[in-house]
Amino acid sequence: MEDRKKILGANIFWVVLIFINLGSSLIIGQVTNDTTVSIITSQLSIILTMAVYLLVTKQNPLKLLRFKTFHLGSFFLVILLAVCVVPMTSLINAISMLFASNVVAGTLTDITNGGLFPALLLMAVLPAFVEECTFRGVIMGSYATGGRPVKAIVFSAIVFGLMHMNFNQMCYAVFMGLVFGAVVEATGSIFSSMTMHFCINGFSTLVTWALPRMIEYLKKVLPSGETAALADSLEASNEALTTEALLNTIFSILPVALIAAVLACLLLKAIAKLNGNEDKWKLWLKKDYKEDREAVPKVRIFDIPYAIAAVLCLIICVLNELALKMMGM
């Protein structure tokens, strides 16, 4: 019963978080269109809501959020895991762009124009801490109290995806949520998913910052012939992709993404073993442990607050997509 209360509390927290996030966005939107201010406000609203939730529920934040160290050797494997996840994330992003607008590219460009280090702080450091504490900490941590980690990972990943409030990000954020949740369970520490989150977001930010500067450099030092064509092709790749270009991108990334996905699974297994959590994975993933799994009491995660929050997020996704289409994005 206590586990069920924690899950219900986490789902109510999600509903409240949606309204606070929307409210703060609407208020800030009336004052300024500055992207940096919007991101900071969004992250602050999340962290303050989480702080209030922890105070009201009187839960131990260190225990719930899993603020503890993990095996030093697996730290480097976690970074390598982040590298292996990037191709699949790019593939899902490209597939989603066939039917949904890419809202991140423009935002990243605006922010990187202010400098690389401020951009990394806004797009990599801040989300890695705030979002991991919220989604892998409060939400997944509450779901996992039922003793079914796989179920907790899946349902919290859906929450993470939906909270991005647009179809493009939602698609690959669900996948990232699955991997982040899995690495937290493999290490027993939220610092592992924070590390991955920072690496992935940091890589995207670095590429967005570097590409236009590379184009300008090539135009200056390689002004004619094939070199100019190379600069033009790089510039074109930074613009909106046609359906044909997206399909070409998808088929070119697919083999790399599949190979990287296999490597990612092997890395997760190695990380779990190094952190002494290999038996936990065997319990939930191997057929031989079916009777042991069935002995764990079933706790329902999907309930009325969860359904309400999911529907609200989907409605916002649809409205955002319609607004972007009307703006010609």
pLDDT digit string (tens) for 200-230? 999 999 988 888 787 777 767 766 555 555 5
Question: Mean of the pLDDT values across residues 88-92?
Answer: 95
Q: What is the pLDDT averaged over residues 189-199?
A: 97
134-168 pLDDT per residue, tens: 999 999 999 988 778 889 999 999 999 999 999 99
Instruction: Please check the confidence at residue 18 and state whether its pLDDT lies above 90.
Output: yes
Residue-level pLDDT at 20: 94
Q: What is the predicted pLDDT for the residue at 187? A: 95
Check whether 172 has a pLDDT greater than 80.
Answer: yes
Residue 242: DSSP 8-state = P
What's the pLDDT tens digit per position in 22-79? Answer: 998 888 888 888 888 888 999 999 999 999 999 999 999 999 999 999 999 899 999 9
Q: What is the pLDDT of residue 328?
A: 62
pLDDT attached to residue 231:
54
pLDDT at 140: 96
**Spatial contact of 25 and 40, defined as CB atoms under 8 Å apart:** no
pLDDT digits (tens, 9 = 90+) for 102-118: 877 777 878 888 889 99
Higher pLDDT residue, 3 or 268?
268
Instruction: Band the pLDDT of 100: cuts 50, 70, 90.
Output: confident
* Mean pLDDT (whole number) for 5-12: 93
pTM score of the predicted model: 0.91
Q: Which residues contact 183 (CB under 8 A, 6 or more apart)?
A: 78, 81, 192, 193, 196, 268, 271
The alpha-carbon radius of gyration of the chain (Å, integer) is 21
Quickly state the pLDDT bin for 232 (edges 50, 70, 90): low
Query: Measured between alpha carbons, how far is 275 from 111 in angstroms, rounded to an integer?
Result: 37
pLDDT over 80 (residue 237): no
Spatial CA neighbour of 145 closest among 293, 4, 305, 302: 4
DSSP state at residue 165 = -
The pLDDT value given to residue 246: 87
**What is the reported pLDDT for 36?**
87
Q: How does the average pLDDT of the chain come out, rounded?
A: 87
User: In this predicted structure, what is the pLDDT of residue 307?
Assistant: 97
197 or 239, which is more confident?
Answer: 197
2-30: average pLDDT: 90
CA distance 262 to 276: 22
Q: In the predicted model, what is the mean pLDDT of residues 231-251? A: 70
Q: With cut-offs at 50, 70 and 90, classify the pLDDT of residue 274.
A: very high
pLDDT > 90 in the chain, percent = 59
The 10s digit of each residue's pLDDT in 245-256 is: 889 889 999 999
Query: For residue 185, which of 73, 284, 272 has the smallest C-alpha distance?
Result: 272
Q: Is pLDDT of 284 > 70? A: no
- Confidence band, pLDDT 50/70/90 cuts, at residue 282: confident
Among 207, 240, 205, 233, which Cα is nearest to 219's?
Answer: 233
Report the pLDDT averaged over residues 311-320.
Answer: 94
